[in-house]
Chains A and B, each alone.
Chain A
Amino acid sequence: MTAELGLLALIIAFCTAVVLGIVPLYGSIRRHTTCIAVARPAVWVQLVFVAIAYGCLTYAFLDNDFSVSYVANNSNSKLPLLYKISGVWAAHEGSLLLWVLILSGWTGAVTIFSRTVPDDMIAKVLGVMGLISVGFLSFILFTSNPFSRQFPPVTEGRDLNPLLQDPGLAIHPPMLYLGYVGFSVVFAFAIAALITGRLDMAWARWSRPWTTTAWSFLTLGIALGSWWAYYELGWGGWWFWDPVENASFMPWLMGTALIHTLAATEKRGVFKAWTVLLAVFTFSLSLLGTFLVRSGVLTSVHAFASDPERGLFILIFLVIVVGGSLTLYAWRAPSIRSVPGFNPVSRESALLINNVLLVTTTATVLLGTLYPLFIDALGLGKISVGPPYFNSIFVPLTVPLVVAMGFGALCRWKKDTFARLRGDLGMLLLASLLAGGICPLAMDHYSLAAASAGTLGCWAMFTAIRGLWIRATPGRRWQGLARTPRAYWGMTLAHSGIGIFVIGVAFTTIYSTEKDLSMAPGERFSVGRYEYQFDGVQNLSGPNYVAQTGTVIISRDGRLIARLSPEKRRYLVQQMPMTEAGIQAGFWGDFYASLGERLDDRGRWAVRVQYKAFIRWIWLGALLMAAGGLLAASDRRYRTVARAPVREPAAQTTPILSG
Chain B
Amino acid sequence: MTALAARRRHPLATAVLVLIGLVVMGAAYAAVLPGRAAASGTVSADVEAGRKVFLANCATCHGLQAQGRNNAPSLIGVGAASVDFQVGTGRMPLQQSGPQAPQSKRKLSDDEVRQVAAYIASLSPGPSIPTSEEYAATGGDVSRGGLIFRTNCAMCHNFAGKGGALTRGKYAASLTGVEPKYIYEAMLTGPQSMPVFNDQTMDPQAKKDVIAYLQTIEKAPSPGGFALGSIGPVSEGLVGWAVGLLALIGCAVWLGRKTS
Mutual binders A and B: no
Give A contacts to B, CB under 8 Å: none
